């Protein structure tokens, strides 16, 4: 299809999005990719393809994108499509939402596993999430202006900021009528923990129902494996300034105690 876009296009732009087995860039894999190539003349070509990730898709990920193991069992692996996708992206700039933090690093890893070096630094990259956050700041002053229609007097003084934050919450409750009114439900709404996190900061995650390390060079290794082969890492965690729940998990693992396996739907 072709239409007029209010955008100067010199090189073809590929807008893309990935659905994956999870959010760990080092170990998670692509299960679906959509690419939309916008040509300088305004033509737009959209292609979507499902991919066999060669690993189990955790239930918490399937709950989000609706793709299950059986949906991709007969689909090609990334290895099979890597060369054609690499050529399709050749000479193109890249765009998408939150691609700088997630989609680009993950697809770089996928190409690396396929024996191809995909270097995004030699092309222009536009992330609409970055534009959104820069144009709609998330500071208290911006929130006060948006929800209350006025500017904070003596901004950054503790008292003025506290009073403003109360008014912002009142403004949010009025604007978003579906927000809960109780502190318990509001706290749950504000909880940014992901479903597969074991601790409050996601240092350990459930991967396929198994407790797994989710940071550092050991990301993707099971807690059992770490306790047997890398006990020094867990001891370091206990002594370092990690949250109490994470250090407790590390301490328990050294004693042969692990979180019970999470039941996968």
Q: Express each pLDDT in 186-225 by its tens digit.
A: 988 888 788 889 998 899 999 888 999 998 889 889 999 9
What pLDDT was estimated at residue 261? 67
What pLDDT was estimated at residue 264? 42
How far out from the chain centre does Cα 72 lie?
21
What pLDDT was estimated at residue 1? 52
Same domain, 102 and 147: no
What pLDDT was estimated at residue 262? 58
Which residue is it, tokens 């070509």? 45
What pLDDT was estimated at residue 36? 96
In a domain, 92, yes or no: yes
In a domain, 70, yes or no: yes
CA-wise closest residue to 111 among 36, 25, 12: 25
User: What residues pair up with 95 in beta bridges, in sequence order?
Assistant: 15, 126
CATH number at residue 95: 3.30.420.10
Low-confidence stretches of the chain (pLDDT beneath 70) = 1-3, 261-265
What pLDDT was estimated at residue 125? 93
What pLDDT was estimated at residue 263? 47
Residue-number span of the structural domain to which 250 is assigned: 204-254
Same domain, 175 and 227: no
What pLDDT was estimated at residue 2? 56
Number of folded domains in the chain?
3
In a domain, 195, yes or no: no
What pLDDT was estimated at residue 192? 76
Which residue is it, tokens 């087995």? 21
Count each helix (H run) and each strand (E run) in the chain, helices first.
11, 7
In a domain, 148, yes or no: yes
Same domain, 64 and 19: yes
Same domain, 33 and 67: yes
């Amino acid at each position: 299809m072709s239409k007029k876009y209010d955008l100067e296009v010199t090189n073809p732009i590929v807008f893309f999005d990935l659905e994956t087995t999870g959010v760990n860039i080092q170990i998670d894999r692509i299960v679906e990719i959509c690419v939309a190539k916008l040509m300088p003349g305004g033509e737009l070509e959209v292609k979507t393809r499902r991919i066999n990730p060669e690993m189990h898709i955790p239930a918490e990920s399937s709950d989000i994108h609706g793709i299950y193991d059986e949906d991709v069992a007969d689909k090609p692996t990334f290895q099979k499509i890597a060369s054609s996708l690499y050529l399709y992206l050749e000479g193109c700039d890249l765009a998408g939402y939150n691609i700088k933090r997630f989609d680009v690093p993950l697809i770089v890893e996928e190409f690396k596993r396929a024996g191809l070096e995909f270097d995004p630094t030699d092309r222009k990259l536009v992330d609409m999430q970055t534009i959104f956050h820069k144009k709609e700041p998330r500071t208290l002053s911006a929130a006060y202006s948006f929800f209350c229609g006025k500017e904070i007097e003596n901004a950054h003084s503790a008292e003025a900021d506290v009073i403003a934050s109360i008014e912002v919450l009142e403004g949010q409750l009025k604007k978003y009528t579906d927000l809960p009114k109780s502190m318990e439900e509001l706290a749950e709404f504000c909880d940014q923990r992901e479903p597969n996190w074991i601790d409050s900061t996601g240092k350990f995650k459930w991967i396929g129902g198994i407790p797994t390390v989710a940071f550092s060079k050991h990301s993707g290794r099971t807690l059992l494996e770490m306790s047997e082969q890398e006990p020094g890492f867990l001891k370091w965690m206990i002594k370092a300034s990690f949250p109490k729940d994470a250090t407790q998990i590390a301490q328990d693992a050294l004693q042969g105690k692990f979180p019970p396996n999470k039941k996968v739907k």
